[in-house]
């Protein structure tokens, strides 16, 4: 087995300096070095500076076999080239447009019903989290499905770090907002920014995962870098990408798709083959790659982990 040992001199500068200072110092030093050439200002400077991913050396991480599934993995090329990310276009071929997303500096804020409002740089957050790999099935509400190895950490660790108050009943997550980078956000008929939410019980469930990588590498931009939600018993639109804020609330949040079409996309969005979408059946799903159609499973096959969360809630629209 290959064991990677970091030597002392390989200690990243981020380990010694708080991340926001590290990045502003890097930019400043780069500006000094490039001054005579890039007299045109910081825009041109950033255009010319290749993007460095300080998290690349964290991957691959060990797989947690508790969550493996009886289904073949989807080919990487399919999972990374057929995406939903409306910020970059309302079609599936957004992967090259998504490369415009800048991943550093990237901060994540915890606010609302919390002990203290905090903001952390993504690399400081990653350093605090126990990373692992989990193979999960993913089921889009559009009835396509994939099975992929996510790297990241159980969401409960992030909740414990954020220290929500007992008054917190929900956690609302928000995607970045930058229409210059993400032209879809100029389409004013969508209720930007993209927002999604879970109950605290759902967020603390062992399946809820914050993914920061895919196929043993940092998360591709088109799949929601640098961090996204994976709650595999729910339809794909709940799996919010490129998160910048976790807000703990007393009230149930209204998510992006619920604001647009509440009759079609509700808050709960649990997978159920017997509850059709108003415009199509959910009885089967199409596997990305070979286009085989297979039966949809209740809670996407994760009932043993999550069914109890919904006991006594039969009056709610749990599957829409």
* Residue 236 found at the interface with ligand MTE (CB under 6 A): yes
Phi, psi (deg, nearest 5) at residue 107: -115, 155
**Pick from 14, 55, 74, 83: which binds ligand MTE (CB under 6 A)?**
83
Closest approach of ligand MTE to the CB of residue 277, in Å: 12
Whose Cβ is closer to ligand MTE: residue 26's or residue 137's? 137
Closest approach of ligand MTE to the CB of residue 52, in Å: 24
Q: How many residues contact ligand MTE, by CB under 6 A?
A: 16
* Residue 249 found at the interface with ligand MTE (CB under 6 A): no
Pairing of strands 217-218, 195-199: unpaired
* Residue 270 found at the interface with ligand MTE (CB under 6 A): no
Q: Is the peptide bond before 21 cis (omega within 30 degrees of 0)?
A: no
**Pick from 22, 86, 265, 302: which binds ligand MTE (CB under 6 A)?**
86
* Residue 239 found at the interface with ligand MTE (CB under 6 A): yes
Closest approach of ligand MTE to the CB of residue 121, in Å: 20
* Residue 87 found at the interface with ligand MTE (CB under 6 A): yes
3-state class of 16 per DSSP?
Answer: helix
| Beta strands in 140-262, from DSSP E residues, in sequence order | 144-154, 170-175, 195-199, 209-214, 217-218, 228-230, 243-249
Number of H helices, E strands in the chain: 9, 12
CA angle 234, 240, 245 (to 5 degrees): 130
* Residue 152 found at the interface with ligand MTE (CB under 6 A): no
* Residue 232 found at the interface with ligand MTE (CB under 6 A): no
CA distance 220 to 95: 9
**Pick from 153, 237, 248, 268: which binds ligand MTE (CB under 6 A)?**
237
Among 6-14, 239-247, 278-286, 290-298, the segment contacting ligand MTE (CB under 6 A): 239-247
Q: In the 8-state DSSP scheme, what is residue 114?
A: B
b/e per residue 295-305 (b: at least 16 CB within 10 A)? ebbbbbbbeeb
Residue numbers at the binding site for ligand MTE (CB under 6 A): 83-87, 140, 175, 194, 223-224, 236-237, 239-242
């Amino acid at each position: 087995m290959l064991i990677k040992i970091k030597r002392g001199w390989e200690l990243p500068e981020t380990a010694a300096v708080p991340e926001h200072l590290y990045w502003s110092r890097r930019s400043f030093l780069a500006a000094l070095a490039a001054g005579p050439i890039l007299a045109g200002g910081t825009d041109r400077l950033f255009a010319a500076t290749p993007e460095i991913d300080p998290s690349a050396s964290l991957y691959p991480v060990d797989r947690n076999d508790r969550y493996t599934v009886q289904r073949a993995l989807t080919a990487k090329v399919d999972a990374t080239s057929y995406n939903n990310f409306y910020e970059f276009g309302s079609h599936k071929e957004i992967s090259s447009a998504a490369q415009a997303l800048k991943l550093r500096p990237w901060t994540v804020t915890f606010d609302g019903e919390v002990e203290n409002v905090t903001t952390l740089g993504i690399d400081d957050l990653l350093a605090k989290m126990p990373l692992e790999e989990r193979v999960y099935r993913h089921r889009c509400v559009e009835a396509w499905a994939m099975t992929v190895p996510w790297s990241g950490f159980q969401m409960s660790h992030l909740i414990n770090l954020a220290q929500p108050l007992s008054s917190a009943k929900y956690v609302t997550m928000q995607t970045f907002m930058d229409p210059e980078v993400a032209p879809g956000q100029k389409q004013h008929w969508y209720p930007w920014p993209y927002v999604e939410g879970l109950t605290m019980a759902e967020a603390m469930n062992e399946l809820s995962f914050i993914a920061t990588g895919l196929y043993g590498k940092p998360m591709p931009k088109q799949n929601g870098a640098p961090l996204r939600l994976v709650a595999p018993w729910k339809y794909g639109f709940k799996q919010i990408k490129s998160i910048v804020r976790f807000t703990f609330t007393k009230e149930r949040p209204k998510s992006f798709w619920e604001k647009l079409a509440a009759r079609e996309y509700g808050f709960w969005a649990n997978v159920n083959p017997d509850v059709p979408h108003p415009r199509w059946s959910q009885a089967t799903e199409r596997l990305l790659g070979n286009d085989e159609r297979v039966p949809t499973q209740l809670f996407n096959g994760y009932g043993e982990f999550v069914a109890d969360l919904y006991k006594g809630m039969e009056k709610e629209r749990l599957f829409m």
